[in-house]
């Protein structure tokens, strides 16, 4: 199991990013969370098989290719729970 954290920058709030991230998480068997940040970016923590995370993020980037200006990736130390949630 891998766990990674991503921060997406660009026009990623108010475009359905969190809802799509949650929907796609089920398709790729990803648990974790997604939330809007005060600076207009979106943070996402994903836990699952390494290949599933890679394909999940690639799908998100394709879906929002016009909105994402850049993305930062890091290893996430905390262990996730069950399912995938939208945090407020």
What is the pLDDT at residue 82?
Answer: 81
What is the pLDDT at residue 80?
Answer: 59
Residues of the chain with pLDDT under 70: 77-81
CA dist., res. 30 & res. 20, Å (int): 13
Closest CA to 74 of 55, 88, 60, 53: 53
Residues 1 and 22 sit within 8 Å (Cβ to Cβ): no
CA dist., res. 81 & res. 53, Å (int): 16
Q: Which domains, and CATH codes, for the chain? A: 2-78 (3.30.70.100)
Q: Could you give the residue numbers annotated as active site?
A: 18, 36
CA dist., res. 71 & res. 27, Å (int): 22
């Amino acid at each position: 199991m891998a766990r990674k954290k991503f921060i997406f920058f660009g026009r990623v709030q108010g475009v359905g990013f969190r809802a799509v991230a949650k929907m796609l998480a089920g398709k790729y068997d990803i648990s974790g969370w997604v939330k809007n940040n005060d600076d207009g970016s979106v943070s996402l923590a994903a836990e699952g098989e390494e290949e599933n995370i890679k394909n999940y993020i690639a799908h998100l980037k394709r879906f929002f290719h016009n909105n994402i200006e850049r993305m930062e990736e890091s290893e996430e130390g905390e262990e996730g729970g069950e399912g995938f949630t939208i945090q407020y």
